[in-house]
Structure formats: C-alpha cells, structure tokens
C-alpha cells in the first residue's frame, strides 16, 4: 500500500521508511528536492524535473550519487511499484549522514530518497471560485544568498509566509523579493493577465523556475496569447484582469482577491480557465 519509499537502494513503507538524525538534510536543511506529478501512470515532465534537481544539487556543491538515466529509471520503477495511477513523487538528495558540524566533508555519501504518495492541495471549490491571497511580509531569499532557483530543503521563509496567510485566514500568500518586486506564492509561480497578455516574473530575477510555469507559458503561446517575462509590482497584480498561480501540486488556480482587493471581476477569468483546461489536457497526454 502507498506510500512507496525508496532510500539508497532499499524499498520501505510508511512505518519503516526512516532517516538518520545525523543526516545533514535534517540537521541543516542541507539538500535539494523535487515535487513531481504522475498522471495516468505517466510521470509528468520527468526529464525537466531531473534537470532541475541536478542543477539544484550543483548549486549547493552536492553530487547526486546516481547518473540521471539511473535515477530516471528508479523513479519510474517506484511509481510502478506504488500501483497508483495518479500520484505525487517527492525526490530528495540530502548531504547524507555526518557528525554535528556544518562541514559537508563530514558526510561521505549523499542520500537519495524517493517517495511516491498522493497529494491534494485545494478542494474543488477553490478552483471554481479562485483563491483569496495576501502579500506576506516575509520576502523570499535574496538571489545572491540562497538562490530561489535552487529547490533546496530550506523552505522556512516560504513556510513563514504561509503561516502569515493561515493566521490571516486566507488561502495563499504572495511573496516579494528583497527589492519589493513580486516573486512567487509559497509553493507556486504567479501570472497576471492584462489585455490578453500574460506577465510573469523572469527566472533570473530570483524565483523558482517552475516546470508548470514553463508548461503554461508554452500552452499560452500555442493559444496565441502574448507572454512577457517581466518584473512585476503589486500594482500590476491589483490592476490585472486576471491572476493565477501554477505549481506541480496546485496545477493552475486563479487568485480572485489579493490584499482585500478584488482582482478583475472577482472570478476565475476566461484565459485562466482556458489555460487550466489546456494544462489538464497536456497532463493527460503526458508530453
């Protein structure tokens, strides 16, 4: 029965899948990860997720102890063993077991963990009505500190932002960067739609370059909408006709209220709905 857990060569279940308290992934958040979806027993955009995982690892001087094609096969094998048609995969590479000191040289062997389970982020009515969001006071990491392009095991600023949203009773939070530009949501990228053109912050500005974001950009261009990767202010969101978020877990979901202001007409807009539909079709097609 799910979840299926693979740790460094051995399969476990929920009760037996455990890591050492000396793993620097736990002690320091020293590691990287991916969240990946399975639709209809097919892993969605696995090569793109693996490319990002290996790039994240390189970004923190961590060598993944398996070659990319080997990890690719392993993920597919784990999904097969889970027996799940629809699943959520969490793939981690941690610095591994060391002693109680920061020095990663004390960790001779990185650990690879693959969990295959399920996830549901929002109930259906959030997709129908759109999310209520607020701008969090907690900014994302400065891009020259821990680059937001690295999907590292350090999610505390995003969690703190999420907690601000929970405390205020909203669904989701929008995070700014250290300069005050709009960056992303707690685990999703964001888009504003104005006069039929999509606008989203560029990856180089310091955001996670989402696999879903890239897929939605492709779909939008196919549908002949303009797409601009440009720095955005909150003003651009407040005055947008539509606003939506994208992520592996959430897929495409509208934001209809931000900081108490109604976005557009206060309902998921036509372009958001069109792209959500096209994304679903793409996910089922699996390319």
Residues that bind ligand PXG (CB under 6 A): 35, 121, 158, 184, 187-189, 208, 210-213, 246-249
| HSE toward the beta carbon, residue 64, CA cutoff 13 A | 24
Q: Give the separation between CA 110 and CA 224, rounded to whole angstroms.
A: 45
DSSP strand pairing (31-39 vs 87-94): antiparallel
By beta-carbon proximity to ligand PXG, the closer residue of 19 and 146 is: 146
Which one of the listed residues 18, 81, 151, 162 is annotated catalytic?
151
By beta-carbon proximity to ligand PXG, the closer residue of 99 and 218 is: 218
Yes or no: say if 4 and 251 are a contact pair by the CB < 8 Å rule.
no
Q: Give the separation between CA 127 and CA 147, rounded to whole angstroms.
A: 31
DSSP H stretches of helix in 30-155: 46-59, 68-82, 124-129
**C-beta of 184: minimal distance to ligand PXG in Å?**
4
Backbone angles phi, psi at 280, to 5 degrees: -55, -45
Q: 151 catalytic, yes or no?
A: yes
By beta-carbon proximity to ligand PXG, the closer residue of 35 and 139 is: 35
DSSP state of 20: -
**C-beta of 166: minimal distance to ligand PXG in Å?**
14
**C-beta of 217: minimal distance to ligand PXG in Å?**
11
Residue with tokens 């259906």: 124
**C-beta of 185: minimal distance to ligand PXG in Å?**
7
By beta-carbon proximity to ligand PXG, the closer residue of 142 and 265 is: 142
Q: Which residues are catalytic?
A: 151
């Amino acid at each position: 029965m799910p979840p299926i857990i693979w740790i460094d060569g051995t399969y476990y279940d929920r009760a037996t899948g455990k890591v050492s308290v000396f793993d620097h992934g736990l002690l320091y958040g020293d590691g990287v990860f991916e969240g990946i979806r399975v639709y209809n027993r097919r892993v969605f955009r696995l090569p793109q997720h693996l490319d990002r995982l290996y790039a994240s690892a390189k970004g923190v001087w961590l060598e993944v102890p398996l070659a990319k094609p080997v990890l690719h096969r392993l993920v597919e094998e784990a999904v097969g063993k889970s027996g799940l048609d629809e699943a959520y995969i969490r793939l981690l590479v941690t610095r591994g077991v060391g002693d109680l000191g920061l020095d990663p040289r004390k960790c001779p062997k990185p650990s690879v963990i693959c969990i295959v389970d399920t996830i549901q982020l929002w109930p259906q009515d959030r997709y129908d009505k759109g999310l209520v969001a607020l701008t969090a006071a907690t900014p994302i990491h400065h891009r020259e500190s821990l680059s937001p392009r690295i999907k590292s095991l350090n999610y505390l600023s995003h969690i703190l932002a999420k907690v601000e949203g929970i405390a205020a009773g909203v669904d989701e939070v929008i995070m700014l960067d250290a300069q005050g530009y709009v960056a992303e949501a707690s685990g999703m990228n964001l888009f504003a739609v104005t006069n039929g053109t999509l606008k989203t912050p560029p990856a180089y500005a310091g955001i996670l370059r989402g696999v879903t974001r890239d897929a939605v950009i492709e779909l939008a261009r196919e549908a002949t909408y303009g797409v601009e990767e440009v720095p955005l202010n909150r003003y651009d969101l407040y005055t947008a006709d539509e606003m939506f978020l994208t992520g592996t877990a959430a897929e495409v979901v509208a934001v209809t209220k931000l900081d108490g202001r109604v976005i557009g007409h206060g309902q998921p807009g036509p372009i958001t709905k069109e792209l959500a539909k096209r994304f679903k079709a793409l996910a089922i097609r699996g390319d």
